[in-house]
Structure 1
Amino acid sequence: MRFSAKKKVVACLLHLIFLRKILARKPATILIHKRCATLKKTVKIELVPLIELPTFKFPDLNDITDIDEKNRLLIERNYSGVKNLKPFNEHQYKLSDISDSDLKKAIELHVSDIPIAESCAFFGGYGLKVNNEFVLFPQCCGLLSEINDWKKILHENFEPFYLPECHPSPKFKKIGNEIIIECDSTDEEFYPKTKEIIKVDYESLVSAIKSVSIELIEISKKLDTFNAEYETESVAKNLIWEE
């Protein structure tokens, strides 16, 4: 019996030692977990609708060789409030910042003398922001209707794809829980210069796509106030969604 009692005492001591080791390590473990959670929360992903505003080409500006100056003057002459907005990637503007009157002017210049049903969407596209910094801008000939391509990402097992109109086009694919955006500049440079590989968390990008889709629905309501003038069921369906 004495031997059995001694074994119990030893077992209790060993258990206490084990608990002390666990408790000694626990604060560090909690700290690491908290730090990882904090780092994950700091990654903010946004998709920003950017429009490349159409302009009437005034003949007296043809001889201006400074492209930035020429673009500035074209914007000033064509739009009332855009001159006060900050351009992105030199000549693109946040769609949500454009006033109703300037949106109307943009429709007029973009559609020109063709039926709106035959028009492509507004030129521009979607800037990708990571932690408030743009990492990807719409490229040449990009369209606001590219939202339909971005929405392919909402399907978890989507096939890799390119944006069909812009050039150069990034390639989108999913590996594990990440979206890999390949920006191959072999044949044509991305502008501005862009990382060859951009990686973003899948769920975060899905949230960004859903969020910008809601934003576009609100902007569509503004565009559709001009339906009667353009004799169409929906200006937005033609100039944003291409439906």
Structure 2
Amino acid sequence: MQVQLIPVIELFYLVDSVPVPPKGPYWEQVASWREYHERNLRANGFSTRLRPYLPGSAFHRIADLSDTDIARLIRLHCAEGLKGSGDWRQVRPLPGGYVLRVGSLDVLFPQCCSDLGDLKSWRRIAEGKCAYLYSGHPSPDIDQRNQSATFDFNGPSETFVPPPPLHSVTVPLVELTGAVRAAERELRIFAARMDLVNIEQSLNVPDIEVLLLRGV
């Protein structure tokens, strides 16, 4: 069983000149939402080559961002702090999170209010130290036994977005541990790229890795 945790970032910065499609959800109205996000990315100064992780969505693999995209992202996300008038402690980690992919299925996407700092929650699950996952809300019910974790998507009153393709999935902890480590490596590479952009463009964002990827 191949288990992956794929780091994705949500590039969703509203622009008045680009109206939001009147109908959703994006996985059912793919064409209109794909066009919307493409126009939105251009209006926000991101490169036109960016493609979403899932057609119509705002999620993008962090490895797909160019250095120019990273610089634009930092400027948008840290706009108040860069003006010198904001409190850096109020800046949240970058929105997005981790797609749980089991075999060929994307089982769980980051949910509402999730961010790239949520990897620590996945790590605790993989270590068998916790039976609660925070990856935004709603969260799946988790049952840990026999060195495995079963993620049940039937319990919450809120609806998962997009709907999981399975009612539940059982993942060996050893495989989940490997997935966490791979995600950590990808995150370290992204952190190094952010740090370089921060220095080269004299953005002077303090403790940028902690601020945008870990959470203060």
TM-score by length of 2: 0.81
Displacement of 1:82 after TM fit?
4.9
Does 1:103 pair with 2:103? no
Runs of 5+ unmatched residues, structure 1: 1-42
- CA distance in 1 between partners of 2:49 and 2:98 (Å): 21
- Aligned AA (2:122): W
Which deviates more, 189-198 or 165-174?
165-174
Instruction: Kindly state the Cα deviation for residue 154 of structure 1 after the two structures are TM-superposed.
Output: 4.0
- Judged with a 3 Å threshold, the aligned counterparts in structure 2 of structure 1 residues 210 and 173 are, in CA distance, closer, same or farther, namely farther
Matching of residue 136 in structure 1 with residue 108 in structure 2: yes
Deviation at 1:130, TM superposition (A): 1.3
* Pairs aligned (count): 198
Q: Which structure: larger Rg?
A: 1
Q: 1:227 to 1:84 in 2, by over 3 A?
A: closer
Asked whether 1:65 is paired with 2:22, we answer yes
Take 2:92 and 2:78, find their aligned partners in 1: how far apart are those partners? 9
Report the TM-score, using the length of structure 1 for normalisation.
Answer: 0.73
For residues 85 and 63 of structure 1, the distance between their equivalents in structure 2, rounded to whole angstroms, comes to 18
2:39 is paired with a residue of what secondary structure? helix
- Relative distance call for 1:60 and 1:218 in structure 2 (3 A) is closer
1:161 aligned counterpart, secondary structure: coil
Taking the aligned partners of 1:134 and 1:144, their CA distance within structure 2 comes to 18
Counting helix residues as a fraction of each chain, which structure ranks higher? 1
Equivalent position to 2:186, from 200, 215, 230: 215
- CA drift at 1:101: 0.7
CA distance in 1, matches of 2:41, 2:20: 17
RMSD over aligned Cα atoms: 2.2
Q: Which runs of 5+ in 2 are unaligned?
A: 24-31, 81-85
Structure-1 separation of matches of 2:143 and 2:105:
22
**Higher RCO, 1 vs 2 (CA within 8 Å, ≥6 residues apart):** 2
